Amino acid sequence: MATRGMMSLMPVSAWLLVALAVPWQKEEVLTPGITYRAAQYHQEGIGPLSLHAIEFDPRTPGIDLVPVRALDAVAGKETVSSMAARSNAIAAINAAYFVVMGPLAGAPVAAYQMDGKLLSASSRQVATGIPNAPLSGNAERTALVICRTAGEEEKLEMNRVRFAASVTTAEGESTAIDGLNRPRGGDDLVLYTAAIGRTTRSERAGVEILVDAASIVARMEQGFGDMAIPAGGRVLSASGSAADWMRRNVRLGDTLHIRSGLTRNGCEARDVVAAGPLLVRDGQAVTESEGFRHEGTRNPRTAIARLRGGSILLLVADGRQAASIGLTTAELARILLSLGAEEAMNLDGGGSSTMVVRGRVVNSPSDRKERPVSDALVLRTR
């Protein structure tokens, strides 16, 4: 077994790839460079499956894959078909994990960046509001990284990203910031910007500090959890030991140095959509878990892969129904390898798994209706 960083890689034998070959029964060229395929079949060793795929070449001029936020906001939920319609998308799939319930429902639980602006991130696990939710917001999370500079072709990478942030006082006292624009938990320090909305909407009492555009502490509140966020301002919201640190070290009128960003390898990112786990690296299955509870059970799945030759594949596998029982992440990786994946990662799944083609939901969501989600990856032409 080979090792690459934290990931374990396992070669997949030729007979297994043949056994998992997908018998596509429908194929439609949506526009030059973009093809939709579908299959309903019985997979030996798994059971009945319904798969839907979009393949496109990112080197084709005028084709873009871009993230779209629900309601054009950091927090909020909207259906994939609605986001596809207002984006004039040819096709779209759901993408990131998100907070399901509470005042910040729809907010990402891991790193999310659009057009070079970091909207949300976390270095800790984030409660999504539902039982058995996937662990999200760990120190590192696999992310789809989309890069492109003016006049150059779009480039997609799948890399681990880490959120690194801190606040330092003028006296040199420093502490880590645990998250950006996501729900605050216990012993937690979260930075909020106006991108999240008008207030922090924290459900826990603690200490909240308003830092103005000049990085000066303009307001401090004890036992508060819903401070207003003015344009250009930022709020540090703390609970537990993080709140104790704020009480000891920060006063009105202080100047604070706040830094936050993502650390990773690879290209200069325009967009970052963290999800996971990573499924395929260098044409081999990744066997190491990333800590998601759903990895070993069969569920509806959404995934993205880079194929040999450079094409990109968007895949949705239906699940939790008689016609399609779903896949484990290991089974999903093997199917993607059979389709020629060189790199692949899992996106949010379950009832969120949705594919829209030319304005129509083509798969069968397990909720029996389309679920409002936090974001989508939309494929469109210029």
Query: Is the residue at 114 inside a domain?
Result: no
Query: Is the residue at 198 inside a domain?
Result: yes
Structural tokens at position 196: 């999240």
Query: Is the residue at 102 inside a domain?
Result: no
Residues 254 and 285 in one domain: no
Q: What is the pLDDT along the chain (382 residues), one digit of tens a residue?
A: 232 333 454 444 443 444 467 999 999 999 999 999 999 999 999 999 999 999 999 988 889 999 999 999 999 999 999 999 999 999 999 999 999 999 999 999 999 999 999 999 998 876 555 444 444 445 678 999 998 765 666 789 999 999 999 999 999 999 999 999 999 988 899 999 999 999 999 877 899 999 999 999 999 999 877 899 999 999 999 999 999 999 999 999 999 999 999 987 777 889 999 999 999 999 999 988 888 889 999 999 999 999 999 999 999 999 999 999 999 999 999 999 999 999 999 999 999 999 999 999 999 999 999 999 999 999 999 8
Query: Is the residue at 129 inside a domain?
Result: no
- Examine the fold and report which residue of 204, 239, 262 is the final residue of a domain before the chain moves on: 262
Residues 254 and 293 in one domain: no
Residue 211 belongs to domain with CATH number? 2.60.120
Tell me how many domains the chain contains.
2
The pTM of the full predicted model, rounded to 2 decimals, is 0.91
Query: Is the residue at 47 inside a domain?
Result: yes
Query: Is the residue at 307 inside a domain?
Result: yes
Residues 237 and 279 in one domain: no
Residues 61 and 12 in one domain: yes
- CA dist 340 and 107 (Å) reads 33
Residues 235 and 319 in one domain: no
- Examine the fold and report which residue of 232, 262, 292 is the final residue of a domain before the chain moves on: 262
- CA dist 294 and 313 (Å) reads 22
Residues 230 and 288 in one domain: no
Residue 321: domain span: 2-95+275-381
- Examine the fold and report which residue of 237, 262, 287 is the final residue of a domain before the chain moves on: 262
Query: Is the residue at 138 inside a domain?
Result: no
CB 273 within 8 A of CB 68: no
Query: Is the residue at 34 inside a domain?
Result: yes
